[in-house]
Each structure stands twice: as C-alpha cells, then as structure tokens.
A and B are shown apart, each in its own frame.
Chain A
Amino acid sequence: MDVSIRMISAASTVFWILLVGFFASAVYSVKDLHLSLGEPRLSLTTDGHAIISIPINIENMGYYNLGSFNIATKVADLNGAKITEGSTSVPIVERGSKITVLHNLTFSTSVLSESCIHYLFNDSSFMVTAKISLKLAETIPVQALSNFTVPWGAPFYNFQLGQPTIEPVNFTHLEITVPISFENHAPIDINGEISLYMYNSEAILVGRGESKIAAPQGNLYTGSILLYVQSSEILEKGAFEVYFSTQFMSYGPLVIPYDFGG
C-alpha cells in the first residue's frame, strides 16, 4: 500500500506542477498578445452595398497558439435599431506570428436611406457593440465585450435651398435658379446628382432640374439648379422635392416648401 500511496503522491505533485505551470504561462502569454486596428476602407459593390473593411492586426508573441479567434461587431443607431453586423473568424493564430485580417461590415444603401435619414443630414453617432472571443493556448476561452459610440459626419449636413431668383425667358416661361448648399462631413467624397422637382400649391409639377455634385469630404458645397417653368403655372406657394443620388446611396424626396409671397 505504501508504494501505491507514494505513486499517487508523485503523480499528484507532477500533475499539479504541470497544471499550475501551464495555467501561469498561458495567462502570462496574454501580455505578448497585441491587437490593433488599421485604417478602415470603404468600397462599393455593384448591387448597391457599401462595405467598410477594417484591418485587424493580431500579433501573437506568447508561448502558445491562439484558437478560435473571432471578432463580431454590431452597429446600431442611437435608438438601438440594428444597421449592420459582421463577424470575422481565424481558426488558429500560431505563436510568434503576426497576421492581418479584414473585418467587413456591409451596409445596404436601401437600409441607410430608409431608416437612417437622420444620418444623411445630421452629425450624429453610431452605437457599436464589439465582441472578441478567443481561446488562450487553444484551451482557455476568453471573451471581451465592449460598447462604444462612433461619431458620424453627415454627407449633406445643413442642406439648404437658398432664395430662388426668377428671370423671365420669354412671355410664357421663367428661369428659376435655386441655390443649394451643404457641408460634407462624411468620411468620404460625395459624387452624384441632385434633382429638384417644383410643385405648386395645387400639387402640379411646374418644372424640374438637376445638377451634378462633387463634394470632397469636410468641404462646403455650394451650387445651384436651374428650372424652366411655365409662368402661368407658378403660384405663390408650393414645394420643392429634392432627390439625392450618389455613388453609395439614393434618397428622395426631401420636401421643402417655398413661399414666393413671404
């Protein structure tokens, strides 16, 4: 019996040393694990989707491989309504390796224009929920969860139609020039077209015009749209309907009333 007890003692001691040594070195390895985010890139697909690709650099200089690395993000508006979500997985990050993976978030432009009108014209922020999960030494599951807000600059911030100027073209038609202005606060350049439809107070289409726009990010855009209208149809009051068409979204109409009498 003495021998068997001694064997149990020895085995127990050896396994304790192995267990504590493995656990301590696995936890200690965390200090040599570095995660960093690269510069996000925006790309557009032919089917009308905008993809934001965020490069994630993973540097594992610890003693063990990392298993089941996964990063999942969910972007929501300030009311908590989901806009998009994405997930990126790496089965194994070998020890001593440095890899870069692209975390893609796909935005449907229709979703943007339907539920996020606020974001087209107002600076705001998005709620981002990020969850990173991995297995230290391929055995110890660790999960980190964080909520943060990301500031958003509106592409058509402070969009305004200026005071229209009316010039007679002939006895029957008028030329109306409508100044437009906005500031592009978005992180991308805006290229596209703005169409303007003019309706009188009887909801009759009086005239229409469009203008190409090119607004570099962070800049104020000013321009104008010309409309030719029949002088008999124009009334004191009515409304402009503005349609926006850019490389990543289409939106309209934005109804802005006018009052030539006032």
Chain B
Amino acid sequence: MTLEDKNARSLTKRFVFNALKALVKSFVFYMLYLFVLSFFVQFEGYVPGLRQTLESFVIVYISLGVFRDIVSDTFFQYFFDVAKALFVICYLILALNGGIVNLTYMDVALTVDLRLFLMAAILLSLLGLARAILQAINCANKKVELTFSYEF
C-alpha cells in the first residue's frame, strides 16, 4: 500500500467518522427540538406559523452543524461556527420582530415583550461568535507554530 493510498484511506475514515458524528449530533438536536416543541404545541392555535418558523430554524441550524462537523479538523469549521452564530442572531431578531411579538386571537390583541429574552439570546450568540473567532485564531496560531517548528 502506497503512502497516497494510506492518506486517501485515512481521509475517507475521517470523513465517515465526521459524517457519523454529524448524524448523531443532528439526531440529538432534533430530539431536543421535538421535546421543546411538545411544550409549545398547544400554543399553535394562538401563534400562526409557529411550527413552520421553528422547523425552518432547526433545518438551517442542523444543516450548518452537519457541514461544520463534516469539515471539522479543518480551518473551514470556524466559518460554519461563525455562520451559525450569525444565523441565530439574525433569525431571533427577525422571528421575534425585534422582541415585541404581536398576536391576535379571537378579538384579543396579545403583545409579548421578549426583549429581555432576545437580549440574553443575542449575548449568548455573540459569545458563541467570539468563541468561534478565538478558535480560528488559535488554530491559525498553532499552524504557524507547527510550520516554524518544521522549518527549524
């Protein structure tokens, strides 16, 4: 077996492992989503399009997670981490209408002020964004260190 064959085999092994990891993580996340959804399912009548809104979030979030896991151990994973954090921020701002949610149910106008929740969620997403950037810097740093150590 040549070195190229060994490399190809190792790459395939890593890809399959990453894909399996992504599958398991997606499954766990989806189960978590179904669990949380079971709490909200009785409010579907009050909030039109609740399930579609949540499902579209979950689909995009899981997709980004899958791509991220497939390219893990490469520099690109951090791009997906950043994309995930930015997506969560944008999605929350858009879906929650800036934090003030207006609903109408049987001639009753409901206003829910979720600005505090939104602020906390955005701060946590920003923390995730900062983490992804730090990881990217750390990875680049390690690569440079490795290159230097090879050169010397």
Q: Is there an interface contact between A146 and B109, defined as CB atoms closer than 8 Å?
A: yes
CB–CB A1/B134 < 8 A: yes
Q: Which chain B residues in 107-140 approach chain A with CB under 8 Å?
A: 107-114, 116-117, 120-121, 124, 127-128, 130-131, 134-135, 138
A175 and B135 CA atoms in complex are apart in Å by 107
In the assembled complex, the Cα of A11 lies from the Cα of B127 at a distance in Å of 9
A28 at the interface (CB under 8 A from B): yes
Known: A24-B40, A27-B39. A142 touches B120 (CB 8 A): no
Residue of A nearest to B126 (CB): A12
A140 to B117, CA, bound (A): 8
Chain A residues closer than 8 Å to B36, beta-carbon distance? 20, 24
Interface residues on A, range: 20 to 34
- The answer to whether A142 and B113 touch across the interface, beta carbons within 8 angstroms, is yes
Is B111 within 8 A of A145, CB to CB?
yes
* Residue tally, chain B, CB below 8 Å to A: 26
- Kindly state whether residue B43 has any CB partner on chain A within 8 Å: yes
- B98 vs chain A, min Cβ distance (A): 15
Given known A5-B131, A28-B39, contact A145–B141 (CB-CB < 8 A): no
B residues 34-75 near A (Cβ < 8 Å) are: 36, 39-40, 42-43
Hey, which bits of chain B sit against chain A, CB under 8 A?
A: 36, 39-40, 42-43, 107-114, 116-117, 120-121, 124, 127-128, 130-131, 134-135, 138, 141
Given A143-B113, A148-B107, 7 extra CB contacts under 8 A = A5-B135, A8-B127, A12-B124, A19-B121, A142-B110, A143-B112, A144-B108
